[in-house]
Amino acid sequence: MAVYTHLGAEELSALISQYDVGALVSAKGIAEGVSNSNWLIETTGPEGTGARYILTMYERRIELSDLPYFLGLLDHLSEKGCPVPRTIHDRDGSAYRMKRGKAVALIEFLPGVSPTQPSPEQAGAVGRVLADMHLASRDFARSRTNTMSFPDNLVLLERCGADRLARIDPGLPSMLGPARAAAELDLSRLPHASIHADLFPDNVLMLGEQVTGLIDFYFACTGSMALDLATTHAAWCFDRENRYRADLGAALIAGYESVRPLGAQERELLPEIAKGAALRFVASRAEDWLDTPDDALVTRKDPMQFVARWHVYDDLGEKLFDRT
């Protein structure tokens, strides 16, 4: 989440008036994240009792043609009881509207706080909910290609170029070789579903050890469920110094497998998939670091954090996923 486009009070009020959510009371820009503009919206509520929503304007890496998939998936999972925010449709029944030539959507606000130092119990709960989401999404009628696949990550890094990558950190160009190796990994024969593909702790809302919301589905796609698990593992199972937390890793995998056990091929490939998942964030963060406008209300994220995590996966390999 972030704010790239600044909307005035009058524009926001007119936009909110197109929904049956009451009148606009307040709007606050949300600075976290890197891809879209977001506001926390407060209204008088459809029955005058007050309500909160998230308003998103789609800015980067999102094609208008993908919105029916993203927003439809939220509605599909919500109807199946998964803790995801439903899309608020306007009075014409549309899931999104256009503003200044960009798509905007109003999303249900869910309670909870994103953990900054997850516990094993929280990691286990996230594993279970992730598996539930995978099973619930398998009959979702729409599909979407993963635009942040391992080959796409290689293209992204090569487009940045070794010279520009070195401006971020002299060691960053060395990741081009591993990215080429990851691009050769074939995940097509693994079980697929609709996956989140970006499930960091700040995309999970929790009350204690209970998951109350999975949010920010704007990298969601049809893909390998093992890839989604590995991506979540890379995002959750390290401390702030990028040291591996074995207790979190074991809890996440155990929680997931308590709902959907991994197949033999998934488990065999998981260490290599995890390396590719780490490189996905090396690539996207490097691009964001180089291309984010200086006046955007957004905090750049360091790609070297995931270079360090890639090295952990490369050094420890299957030991990180050993059930014993």
pLDDT tens digits along 101-129? 899 999 999 999 999 999 999 999 999 99
Q: Counting beta carbons within 10 angstroms of the beta carbon of residue 296, is it exposed (0 to 12), middle (13 to 18) or buried (19 or more)?
A: middle
Q: Which residues pair with 39 in a beta bridge?
A: 29, 55
Q: What is the pLDDT of residue 1?
A: 42
Q: pLDDT tens, 76-106?
A: 999 999 999 999 999 999 999 999 889 999 9
Torsion from C-alpha of 256, 260, 264, 269, nearest 10 degrees: -40
> Does pLDDT of 2 surpass 70?
no
Q: Is the pTM of this model over 0.85?
A: yes
Q: What is the pLDDT of residue 209?
A: 97
Q: What is the pLDDT of residue 30?
A: 83
> Does pLDDT of 61 surpass 60?
yes
Average pLDDT estimate for 255-274: 96
Walk me through the domains of the chain, giving residue ranges and CATH numbers: 9-108 (3.30.200.20), 120-321 (3.90.1200.10)
Identify which of 135, 137, 144, 73 has the alpha carbon closest to the alpha carbon of residue 107: 73
Q: What is the pLDDT of residue 8?
A: 87
d(CA 276, CA 282): 10
Average pLDDT estimate for 44-65: 89
Q: Which amino acid is at 256?
A: Y
